[in-house]
Amino acid sequence: MIPRYGPTYSWHDSAVALSKALMGHPTRQLRRELSRMYGAKHVFLVDGARVALFLLLRALGRPGRVILPAYNCIVVPEAVLYAGYVPLFVDIRRDSLNMTAHSVENSMSPDVTVVLATHQFGIPCAVDEIVSISRRHNVLVVEDAAAAIGAKCQGKMVGTFGDATIVSFHMTKVISGGIGGALLTSDDELASKVHTLLRAAASANRRLIPFLRAFAWKAATNPLLYPYLHVAYRLVYGEAMHELLQVSSEIPPRFVRTCTRFSAALVLMQLQQLDSNLHRRRELADMYRSELSEYSVLPAILGDCSPAWIQFPLLVGDRGTFYRYMQRKGVDLSWTYRYSCSDAFGLGGFPNADRAAKMVLGLPTYPSLSDEDAWYICAVAKEYLSTLS
């Protein structure tokens, strides 16, 4: 079976990262490297992109409404709530799966204090326009580049447009680092407040557990082991392709944790291969695009932008049927988001987000996926999609 995710590190990388975590200064080096890449004066390494957002909002101390897309990971509006702000959802565009500058403009009101410019699945949003609208309204722009490390717009790195940026090193993102994320900003005042908040945080003194987790994840996504674990996982958790989520109001313990030294070391090593990582992801996305454009609605990319493609979202109609069909053919697809956040918050009026939550599945784009497997995925997907039209 072709796994839906594949870690971007090798067995060797994880062993080297462990030794660096035990002996070197990986956190300091990673901070320096990210600071250089993004031209950001301040970099904070924490336990996830959601934690980075939470800290930033707390540090900002302007409780109000936060504009963000309704088709999103539920942990994002949850982090907004934990920080004492109120999410203000905006519908997405059908094709790009991102918010438009126009819809952001229409949602502006005096109680909006922050806009979250999200680059969903690594596909750049109209960030420069969103920034200029937000400046006019005296609203802070945070770029959610959790899924978009290395994506570019007009030759500039995504994550260098707004006032602050969050990125993620979760297993399923551009660079798999286990768990972890970063907050980047050049705003001295904000940074000094984040610094104060983090000083009270638990230091990440866990070294072996993140290593074992990375090791287990690597083993679990091995094609030999994967089908068995996949069946076991489904038996335990079921197969809810579309669901109404309960929003959690309890702040989880990880919201005061920093990134582990192991994850920092693992990310640092892979930053050196970022170009080839992105190149392979784009090759796979181009292959899907040229093979499947006749059969399905494919994500639209804004002019002069290059995505980072953590996966290739495909609109497939009734996705439960498509998913099960692909399963029978030995291809496991990512469910992306099984919900629309507005739905989870009990709000109506977000037709495109609701539609995406019911109809979008993700084709794999991890760099270790072979050409042969990608051709096979295209062939079986075409077989199914052509019976629809």
Parallel, antiparallel, or unpaired for β 164-168 and 181-185? antiparallel
For the bound state, the minimum distance from the C-beta of residue 69 to ligand PLP, rounded and expressed in Å, comes to 9
For the bound state, the minimum distance from the C-beta of residue 180 to ligand PLP, rounded and expressed in Å, comes to 7
- The residue nearest ligand PLP at its CB is 48
Give which of 255, 250, 53, 270 is closest to 178, Cα–Cα: 270
The smaller minimum CB distance to ligand PLP, of residues 115 and 381, is found at 115
Give which of 311, 315, 341 is closest to 73, Cα–Cα: 341
For the bound state, the minimum distance from the C-beta of residue 68 to ligand PLP, rounded and expressed in Å, comes to 9
Structure tokens at 309: 């493609």
Structure tokens at 33: 């490297």
The smaller minimum CB distance to ligand PLP, of residues 118 and 185, is found at 118
Helix (H) or strand (E) holding 112: strand 112-118
For the bound state, the minimum distance from the C-beta of residue 305 to ligand PLP, rounded and expressed in Å, comes to 16
For the bound state, the minimum distance from the C-beta of residue 353 to ligand PLP, rounded and expressed in Å, comes to 14
Angle among Cα 386, 387, 388 to the nearest 5 degrees reads 90
For the bound state, the minimum distance from the C-beta of residue 362 to ligand PLP, rounded and expressed in Å, comes to 11
DSSP H helices in the chain: 11-23, 26-38, 49-60, 75-82, 101-107, 127-136, 188-199, 208-220, 226-237, 261-271, 274-292, 319-328, 341-344, 351-359, 371-388
| Residue 239, strand partner residues | none
Write out the residues near ligand PLP by the rule CB under 6 A.
48-50, 73, 75-76, 118, 120, 144, 146-147, 168, 170, 181
| CA end-to-end distance (rounded Å), the chain | 27
The smaller minimum CB distance to ligand PLP, of residues 141 and 147, is found at 147
For the bound state, the minimum distance from the C-beta of residue 76 to ligand PLP, rounded and expressed in Å, comes to 5
Helix (H) or strand (E) holding 360: strand 360-364
Q: Which residues, in sequence order, are CB contacts of 155 under 8 Å at separation 6+?
A: 304
The smaller minimum CB distance to ligand PLP, of residues 96 and 295, is found at 96
For the bound state, the minimum distance from the C-beta of residue 46 to ligand PLP, rounded and expressed in Å, comes to 9
- The 3-state DSSP class for residue 110 equals coil
The smaller minimum CB distance to ligand PLP, of residues 91 and 144, is found at 144
For the bound state, the minimum distance from the C-beta of residue 73 to ligand PLP, rounded and expressed in Å, comes to 5
Burial class (CB in 10 A: 0-12, 13-18, 19+), 50: buried
The smaller minimum CB distance to ligand PLP, of residues 56 and 75, is found at 75
Other C-beta atoms closer than 10 Å to the C-beta of 135 total 12
The smaller minimum CB distance to ligand PLP, of residues 145 and 269, is found at 145
| Edge-to-edge strands, sheet with 152-153 | 156-157, 152-153, 305-306
Helix (H) or strand (E) holding 249: none
